[in-house]
Amino acid sequence: MSHNTYGHLFRVTTWGESHGPSIGCVIDGCPPGIGLTTEDIQPWLDRRKPGTSRFVTQRREDDEVSILSGVFEDDEIRRLHGGPVTTGTPISLLIQNTDQRSRDYQDIRELYRPGHADFTYDRKYGLRDYRGGGRSSARETASRVAAGAVARKVLGPSIRLRAAVIQLGPHRINRDNWNWETCESNPFWCPDASAAPLWEEYLDSIRKKGSSCGAIIEAVADGVPPGWGAPIYGKLDADLASAFMSINAVKGVEIGAGFEAAALSGEDNADEMRMSGGDVRFLSNNNGGILGGISTGQPIVVRMAVKPTSSILTPRQTVTASGAETDIRTRGRHDPCVGVRAAPVAEAMLAAVLADHKLRHTGQTGR
Shortest distance, position 347 Cβ to a copy of itself, whole Å: 18
Shortest distance, position 185 Cβ to a copy of itself, whole Å: 23
Shortest distance, position 45 Cβ to a copy of itself, whole Å: 18
Considering the rule CB under 8 A, would residue 100 count as an interface residue with a copy of itself?
no
Q: What Å distances lie between residue 278 and 18, 72, 227, 256, 283, CA to CA?
A: 52, 42, 17, 25, 15
Q: Which is nearer to a copy of itself, 181 or 322 (CB)?
A: 322
Shortest distance, position 280 Cβ to a copy of itself, whole Å: 6
Considering the rule CB under 8 A, would residue 272 count as an interface residue with a copy of itself?
yes
In this chain, which of 48, 59, 128, 162 binds a copy of itself, going by CB under 8 A? Answer: 128
In this chain, which of 37, 64, 77, 187 binds a copy of itself, going by CB under 8 A? Answer: 77
Considering the rule CB under 8 A, would residue 347 count as an interface residue with a copy of itself?
no
For every residue of 83-105, DSSP letters joined together read S-EE-SS-EEEEEE---------
Task: Note whether 107 and 320 are within 8 A (CB).
Answer: no
Calpha distance 21→142 (Å, rounded): 14
What do you get for the CA distance between the two ends of the chain, in Å?
Answer: 30
In this chain, which of 339, 342, 345, 346 binds a copy of itself, going by CB under 8 A? Answer: 339
Shortest distance, position 319 Cβ to a copy of itself, whole Å: 5
Calpha distance 226→222 (Å, rounded): 11
Considering the rule CB under 8 A, would residue 344 count as an interface residue with a copy of itself?
no
Q: Which is nearer to a copy of itself, 181 or 277 (CB)?
A: 277
Considering the rule CB under 8 A, would residue 117 count as an interface residue with a copy of itself?
yes
Which residues in the 139-158 window bind a copy of itself by CB under 8 A? Answer: 140
184-192 — which CB contacts under 8 Å span 24+ positions?
A: 187/52, 187/53, 187/55, 187/56, 187/340, 188/55, 188/340, 189/163, 189/164, 189/165, 189/217, 189/340, 189/343, 190/164, 190/165, 191/164, 191/166
Which residues in the 197-226 window bind a copy of itself by CB under 8 A? Answer: 206, 211-216, 226
In this chain, which of 271, 285, 299, 333 binds a copy of itself, going by CB under 8 A? Answer: 271
Q: Which amino acid is at 363?
A: G
